[in-house]
Amino acid sequence: MFHDGAARRRAGKEAVNVRRHDYQAEESLRQQVQAQPGRPEGYTALGAWLMRAGRLAQAKEALQTGLSRAERTLGIQHLLGLILAGSGDYAAAERHLARAVDQTPTRFEFVRDLALVEGAAGRPASSVATLRQAVRFGGDAAGLGWLLRIGERAVAESGARPERLPPQPPRRDAAIEQVVSRNPEVAEALAVRHDPLSAEDAKTLRAARRALVRLLAQHPSYPDLYFGLSLVAEQLGEIDRAIEAAEKALAIHPRYAEACLLAVRLYERKGKSQEAVKRCCQVAELKPQWADVHLRLGDLLSGQGQTAEAAEAYRQALEVNGRCKEAQQRLDGLIHASGGRGGDG
């Protein structure tokens, strides 16, 4: 009995030590989240730890907090979907897993887990359609083959028709969407001038646009996303949409000089010279050291017949860069046309 009592005391002591260690680990994870609230990995690590500890309610709470604070939510959506499925809330689990799949349709484990949850929810037809998509994207296709066959058999026995998913983007387009979702600046690189725009280039740009639109749904206050969307729309020939996106970027960040310049170009292409002058004046105020902006403003004003204002803009360009031949030539032209009056009309 003495031996048994000592064993129980040792076991109890060890259990206390384990619990103390666990709480220290939890505190460390929570401190990481507090130190970097925009980093999604902190929330997923804390949520996974709480899930393993059997504290599902707190795990869900941590992940739901991450959805509202983290910059990227893919991993959080996926883990939260799995936890909700484990607790039997299949409808909510499907919603979160579907959001993860929508953002990265080529991520095999996301598509696979969505299919499994759909099957567990008693929707074999939908599960079969998603499983086929998972197999098509690669990964452990052989391992999912048996599950797909079971699902197909269940659909056949129930007499239900397999659900038809909306057309999925080709693998290349899906990969582009995934890359842009991870690094939106790639969209700006893809939006370089193509003259003429090939059909393949147009597909690439449309895939980038879909990724940017999804990102904006999550982060509507990010002006850079609107800037990238405007560049892409311009290359697709959608000038009105491009103007709308550029103006939204400026509404969020009025001192966004690059977005102002983009708006100037777009308004010029649309034939709206007054709007172009307004935005160009704004850039000239924001970046008085940019000689090319003053030069462009002078050209716009000259085109409207405002020769005195155009001459002043050319002089501003020469003050910034005395070797700007274009500004000097155009100023000389205005002076000559005005009979030596310095551009005054």
Asked if residues 229 and 213 have their Cβ atoms less than 8 Å apart, the reply is yes
Give the DSSP H/E element, type plus range, for residue 207. Answer: helix 199-218
* Same domain? 49 vs 94: yes
**CA dist., res. 220 & res. 32, Å (int):** 26
Asked if residues 117 and 90 have their Cβ atoms less than 8 Å apart, the reply is yes
**CA dist., res. 257 & res. 4, Å (int):** 78
Name, in order, each residue with C-beta under 8 angstroms of 135's C-beta and a sequence gap of 6 or more: 141, 144, 145, 148
| DSSP single-letter state for residue 73 | -
pLDDT 10s digit of each residue in the chain, 345 long?
334 444 444 444 433 333 334 567 788 888 888 888 888 898 889 888 888 777 778 888 888 888 888 877 888 988 888 888 887 888 888 888 888 887 777 677 887 888 888 877 877 778 777 777 766 665 555 566 666 677 667 667 666 555 554 555 555 677 677 777 777 776 777 676 656 788 888 888 898 899 899 989 888 899 999 999 999 999 999 999 999 999 999 999 999 999 999 999 999 999 999 999 999 999 999 999 999 999 999 999 999 999 999 999 999 999 999 999 999 999 999 988 877 655 554
Contacts of residues 304-308 at CB distance under 8 Å and 24 or more positions apart, as own/partner, are 304/273, 304/274, 304/277, 305/345, 306/345, 307/334, 307/337, 307/338, 307/343, 307/344, 307/345, 308/343, 308/344, 308/345
* Same domain? 222 vs 249: yes
Decide if 343 is inside a domain. Answer: no
Shortest CA distance to 146 belongs to which of 164, 128, 162? 128
* Same domain? 159 vs 178: no
Decide if 269 is inside a domain. Answer: yes
Give the DSSP H/E element, type plus range, for residue 189. Answer: helix 185-190
* Same domain? 158 vs 276: no
CB atoms within 10 A of CB 238: 16
Decide if 144 is inside a domain. Answer: yes
* Same domain? 111 vs 157: yes
CATH code for position 66 = 1.25.40.10
pLDDT on residue 17:
37
- How far lies 146's CA from each of 135, 142, 143, 149, 156, in Å? 11, 8, 7, 5, 15
**CA dist., res. 307 & res. 322, Å (int):** 20
Which bin fits 195, alpha (ψ -120 to 50), beta or left (φ > 0)?
A: beta
* Same domain? 333 vs 219: yes
Amino acid identity of residue 73, one-letter, is T
Decide if 250 is inside a domain. Answer: yes
* Number of domains within the chain: 3
Amino acid identity of residue 276, one-letter, is A
CB atoms within 10 A of CB 321: 16
Decide if 218 is inside a domain. Answer: yes
What is the extent of the structural domain holding 40?
1-100
For residue 222, give both structure tokens. Answer: 């990010």
Q: How many separate helices (H) and strands (E) can be counted in the chain?
A: 18, 0
